[in-house]
Amino acid sequence: MPRRPDQKQWIRRKAAVLWAKQGYHATGVLELCEATGLGKGALYYHIGSKEELLFDISIGSVEKLIADAEAALATESSSAEKLRSMAEQLMRNISDDLPEWIVFFGEYNTLTGSMRKEVMERRDHYEALWLRVVEEGQATNEFRETDPIFVKGLLGMFNYAYLWIRHQGTLAPEEIADIFCDAVFRGMLAPALPAALEGAP
Amino acid sequence: MPRRPDQKQWIRRKAAVLWAKQGYHATGVLELCEATGLGKGALYYHIGSKEELLFDISIGSVEKLIADAEAALATESSSAEKLRSMAEQLMRNISDDLPEWIVFFGEYNTLTGSMRKEVMERRDHYEALWLRVVEEGQATNEFRETDPIFVKGLLGMFNYAYLWIRHQGTLAPEEIADIFCDAVFRGMLAPALPAALEGAP
């Protein structure tokens, strides 16, 4: 039986849904067999090992984000437009791959050795792309100077959505990203009224 | 043996550190006995049950945040100053109670019944205090109008720090909160240059 990519993808989703609900450690291989309809041998043929499956789930969504962000960065858009694209991609990705993100954030301590190292490196690489677009915008005076740690706050605005996005109402992920970008780009503070207008009727 | 509050607090911290590292389900009661130096009977005397201990850990930091935020809201400060205080409190709390927050975010699905309901309600109450200060600032024209969902992004900037704050360098939690507030209050976009200055030497 060949390892068809779509079947691997399908097994990953089934496992992510189970693990997101009840945790990686609490879920036995037999439950994975039940959920996928595969015997133990066939399941292991596809996944390698339970930890490899966790690795594949954890790194899959990050790689997709990196590819999309690198495409956005390669355009001729302004830094703000690039950042908005990356924000929309991230919110869409969190919404579409929610079980995978719940597993990622819940089990990032579970992976060991080189698999753990690779996931952390790719996650850091993704964060570096956000830092790059902010620093590009600062170099061209499009953005104000900020401490580099602000990028962690910026990413947190979106990443934290893995905990609430399924409970929000009818806004599309891209609409939420736009609301966040609009607020952060122009700032929360209302512009000061020109002195001449103060006290005007 | 009386239930001394400080001993309960000390057991909570020991359990939070263990659970933050290896997960709630993966940690047996015997490990809790070892970590606290208590026998099983004495441990259960103090904690009630393992799930009650998880409840106490989960709700403890939220209640502290609510009390601090309500005190900040009761001052005569501007809305921006109140929000800055709440942001500093939150970042300090995440930094000081990091094991408790890792347990909170990692195990929020583990609690059941009325304990789960109460934790979620208190967490929602805390979020409502952030929404209140933003809406107060909008009512007085100190803040621009934003969709209410922006408050979730604002909180996410800080909450997400539970994943990275121990790895950052030498900034105090309050300094990080201030950097985030400064950037979000005034906005990332640099002010447009007055037309008269464009092309000036």
What pLDDT was estimated at residue B199? 53
Identify whether the C-beta of residue B126 lies closer than 8 Å to the C-beta of residue B104.
no
What letter does residue A97 receive in the DSSP assignment?
Answer: T
CB A144 within 8 A of CB B189: yes
Cβ distance A153 to B158 less than 8 Å, yes or no, reads yes
Contact assessment for residue B153 and residue B92, using Cβ atoms and an 8 Å cutoff: no
The residue ranges of chain A whose pLDDT is under 70 are: 1-5, 193-201
Find chain A residues with C-beta within 8 A of B164's C-beta.
Answer: 152
Summarised one tens digit per residue, pLDDT across range A66-84 is 999 999 999 999 999 999 9
Give the residue on A whose Cα is nearest the Cα of B160: A156
Tell whether B139 is within 8 A of chain A (Cβ): no
Q: Return the DSSP state at A194.
A: P
Rounded Cα gap, residues B194 and B186, in angstroms? 18
User: C-alpha angle with apex A114: A52 to A161, nearest 5 degrees?
Assistant: 65
User: How distant, in Å, are the alpha carbons of B83, B120, B182 from that of B133?
Assistant: 7, 20, 17
Please tell me the predicted confidence (pLDDT) of residue B198: 52
Let me know the angle formed at the C-alpha of B131 by B130 and B137, rounded to the nearest 5 degrees: 95
Minimal C-alpha gap between B161 and chain A (Å): 7
Please give the pLDDT value at position A1: 44
Q: Is B23 in the A-facing interface, judged by CB distances under 8 Å?
A: yes
A148 burial via Cβ count (<10 Å: 0-12, 13-18, 19+): exposed
Q: Give a three-class secondary structure readout of B103-155.
A: HHHHHCCCCCHHHHHHHHHHHHHHHHHHHHHHHHHHHCCCECCCCCCHHHHHH
What string of pLDDT tens digits covers the 201 residues of chain B? Answer: 445 568 888 999 999 999 998 888 888 899 999 999 999 999 999 999 999 999 999 999 899 999 999 999 999 999 999 999 999 999 999 999 999 999 998 887 789 999 999 999 999 999 999 999 999 999 999 999 999 999 999 999 999 999 999 887 789 999 999 999 999 999 999 887 665 555 544
The answer to whether the CB of B19 falls within 8 A of the CB of B27 is yes
Say which residues have a Cβ less than 8 Å from residue A159's Cβ, sequence separation at least 6: A90, A94, A105, B156, B160
Q: Tell me whether residues A105 and B163 touch, CB distance under 8 A.
A: yes
How high is the pLDDT of residue B117? 95
For A144, name the nearest residue in chain B, comparing CA atoms only.
B190
Place of tokens 């893995």: A162
Rg (CA), chain A: 21
CA distance B1 to chain A (A): 36
Q: Look up residue B66 and give its two tokens.
A: 């609510």
Say how far apart CA B42 and CA B126 lie, in whole Å: 34
pLDDT score at B193: 63
Residue of A nearest to B78 (CA): A189
User: Which residue in B has a C-alpha nearest to residue A87's C-alpha?
Assistant: B153
Residues of B in contact with A156 (CB under 8 A): 156-161
| Residue showing tokens 């209410």 | B148
Q: Determine contact: B28 vs chain A, CB below 8 A.
A: no
> Within 10 Å of residue A97's Cβ, how many Cβ atoms?
21
Beta bridge partners of A189: B143
CB spacing of A149 vs B171 below 8 angstroms: yes
- φ/ψ of A143, rounded to 5, equals -105, 150
Which candidate, B25, B95, B161, places its Cα nearest to that of A107?
B25
- What pLDDT is attached to residue B15? 96
Per-residue confidence (pLDDT) for residue A2, from 0 to 100: 46
Instruction: Tell me B74's DSSP state.
Output: T
Helices B29-36 + B40-47 axis angle, to 10: 90
